[in-house]
Structure 1
Amino acid sequence: MFIFEMILLIGVGFIAGVINTVSAGGSLITLPALLFLGIPSTEANGTNRVAIVVQSLTSFFTFVRKGQVKLKGNASILIASTLGAIFGALSAITVSDDSFMLILAFTMVVTLCFIIWNPVKAINRPSTLTPLAYALGTAAFILIGFYSGFIQVGVGFYIMIVAILLYKKSFVEATFLKIIVVGLSVSISLIIFAVNGQVLWEIGLILAIGNALGAWVGSKMVLLQRTGWIQFILIVTVITLAGRLLYEALA
């Protein structure tokens, strides 16, 4: 691998690590970057998960040291999302390159719209969790797990919405839950991709170096509430990358 490619992967991984931790959508950058390096879509999808697992572990231990860990009451969420991730990953390994690029481009645009709209800020959290909200939340996390196992792009943002809207979590609690759910679902899907020979470990680990550094910085930004500049970078980057993906898929 050329030095330029290593530096590019570490830089892209760093930006993605920050974005994934303070909001969501880091894979909106890393997955297209892997595809543009000429990596087949299924291998890019699998390889991207190496960095996400490392990033999730980094963020998790940062929250542990800050005393922000609260696992009680989240067992059903973790089980539902993990089961969904298994089926999502099994589905993803059968998708063709062109179909994946079209799905990815569409997903990037939809996720970007949600990020710009940011319904999380408009949610008023009631003080109690109703049985209906609990049931809907469990079903939502099965779908979220499937999505995470299949493509993963922007999944953290959807986790935040459900965690705050249905489970009445605070922003910091929802952020920590996002880290746990993403970490578990992506770890499970990574195993499935790896068993099927769809992971390029060297590239994934280089990307993970950047992700880990970005996750460390991002975790501190969340706790200090200094995250305002992230959205601008994400919007400009995603629009550019989605346009190129559509061009290559339809050319």
Structure 2
Amino acid sequence: MSVLEALGIFVAGLAAGTINTVVGSGTLITFPTLLFFGYPPVVANVSNTVGLVAGGVTAVHGYRAELAGAGRMLRRLAPASLLGGVIGAVLLLVLPAKAFQAIVPVLIGLGLVLVVLGPRLQARAAARHEAGIAPAPWHAAALVGGVLVAGVYGGYFGAAQGVILMGLLSALSTEPLQRLNGFKNVLATIVNAVAAITFMLVAWGRIDWLVAVLIGLGAFAGGIVGAKVGRRLPPLALRAVIIVVGLVGIIKIVWFG
């Protein structure tokens, strides 16, 4: 590996760690970068997943204030992310690449629709809460199921997992957007971590450890930067970032594969 290549991978990891903390979709930076340098797709995807775990750790730490008192919610959702991450990682190793790629733009698009509709849905939920009306019984089950599906997707590929999670959380929760972003960072990090562990147990030989370390170092720093930037964004700006990144992700996958 040349110095230029190593620098390019590190910078891609830095950018991915930053954007993952703010919204998600950092894989849309690192994965194409690795393909550009000639790494096979599965090796690139597996190595990238392992490396990005470090960025998730600093992202969660950066949002610790927003996560105060969130233990009950996270205990309910974390098992779905854990199970989904394992399933997605296994699917990556046993299914052909095109088997899952067809549904990726649909999932991202659904996440964007939920982000756009989130304020209206949240307002209705808040009004019901103030009126003493309990949330619809299906909300909790739908959120857990959606987090499970997002975890499968994240374990398989990961790009725009944050967009999907933010869409689900915005639509089915009345929590402030920045607090939901903290939830998203925890859940996405769980998915990446269990997927990385699965890869290490089942496909150790497919991990390029130098690539994983370079991405990890960049993502670790990017998580710190992203937490400082993301926590200062007003809700409207944060939603705009989510929508733009999601649309770019759809364009990349549909037109460039």
Structure 1: runs of 5 or more not aligned: 247-251
Deviations 1:152-211 (A, max 9, x none): 110111111111211322211111111111111111111111221222121111012221
Deviation at 1:54, TM superposition (A): 0.4
- Alignment-derived partner of residue 87 in structure 2: 87
Pick closer, same or farther for the CA change 1:4–1:242 going to 2, 3 Å.
farther
Residues 111 and 166 in structure 2, CA contact (< 8 A), matched pair in contact too: no
Cα distance change of structure 1 residues 158 and 217 upon mapping to structure 2, 3 Å threshold: same
Q: 8 Å contact 2:111–2:167 — kept in the other structure? A: no
* Contact in 1 for aligned 2:108/2:246 (Cα 8 Å): no
Match of 1:204 among 203, 212, 222: 212
What residue in structure 2 maps to residue 220 of structure 1?
228
Task: Tell me which residue corresponds to 2:50.
Answer: 50
Q: Percent identity?
A: 21
**C-alpha separation between the residues in 2 aligned to 1:173 and 1:134?**
17
Q: Which of the numbers 171, 177, 192 marks the counterpart of 2:177?
A: 171
Q: 1:67 to 1:113 in 2, by over 3 A?
A: closer
1:119-153 CA-partner distances (Å, limit 9, x unpaired):
26544311344321001111111111111111111
Matches within 5 A, 1:113-124: 118-119=115-116, 122-124=119-121
Q: By how many angstroms is 1:242 displaced?
A: 4.4
Letter in 1 for 2:32: P
Asked whether the equivalents of residues 119 and 170 of structure 2 are also in contact (C-alpha less than 8 Å), the reply is no
How much is the aligned-residue C-alpha RMSD, in angstroms? 3.0
1:81 offset after TM fit, Å?
A: 1.7
Aligned pair 1:134/2:140, yes or no? yes
Distance 1:120 1:10, change over 3 A: farther
Q: TM-score w.r.t. structure 2 length? A: 0.81
Residue 184 of structure 1 aligns with an amino acid whose one-letter code is I
Contact 1:109–1:242 (CA under 8 A) maintained in structure 2: no
Say whether 1:185 aligns with 2:191.
yes
In 2 relative to 1, CA 235–190 (structure 1 residues): closer, same or farther, beyond 3 Å? closer
Matched-pair contact (CA < 8 Å) for 1:29–1:237 = no
Residues 121-130 or 150-159, more deviating = 121-130
Contact 1:120 1:160 in 2 (8 A): no
**Aligned equivalent of 2:76:** 76
Structure 2: stretches of 5+ with no match in the other structure: 130-134
**Runs of 4+ with deviation above 3 angstroms:** 66-69, 106-118, 120-124, 226-246
Relative to structure 1, the CA distance from residue 166 to residue 238 in structure 2 (aligned partners, 3 Å threshold; closer, same or farther) is: closer
SS in structure 1 opposite 2:94?
A: coil
Structure 1 pair 7/183, CA: closer, same or farther in 2 (3 Å)? same
Q: Secondary structure at the match of 2:121?
A: coil
Query: What is the CA distance between 1:67 and its match in structure 2?
Result: 5.8
Q: Does 1:103 align with 2:101?
A: yes
The correspondence for 2:149, drawn from 125, 138, 143, is 143
- How many angstroms apart in 2 are the aligned matches of 1:211 and 1:241? 21
Q: TM-score, normalised by structure 1?
A: 0.83
- How many Å apart are 1:244 and its aligned residue? 7.4
CA distance in 2, matches of 1:138, 1:240: 28
The CA deviation at 1:43 is 1.5
